[in-house]
Amino acid sequence: MDVLVDMNSSLMNTEDGKPKASLHRQTELDMLLTPEFRSLVGKKFTLIHYRDLTWARGLEISKAAAKKH
C-alpha cells in the first residue's frame, strides 16, 4: 500500500512523504480483521461487496457529487 500517491494535494501525505491513503486503508483493514469486529458481523450489520452495492443501487452512486457554488 505504500505505492499509493495522492497527486492532488501534499496534505494527503505525511511529513516524510508517506501517503496517508495507505495508512487509512491499512487501519481499516486492521480493524476489519479484529476478532471484536468479526464477532459483530451478522449481528449488528451485514458485510457486502462493492459489486453488491452497485448491483442494488446502480453505478450512479459512484459518481462525484456536483459542486455547489
Residue 61 main-chain phi, psi, to 5 deg: -70, -20
Q: Which of 1, 61, 8 is nearest to 27 (CA)?
A: 1
| Cα gap 48→57, rounded to integer Å | 13
pLDDT at 66: 67
46 touches 28 (CB < 8 A) = no
In this predicted model, what pLDDT tens digit does every residue of 45-65 receive, in sequence order? 988 888 888 888 777 766 666
Indicate the pTM of the whole model: 0.54
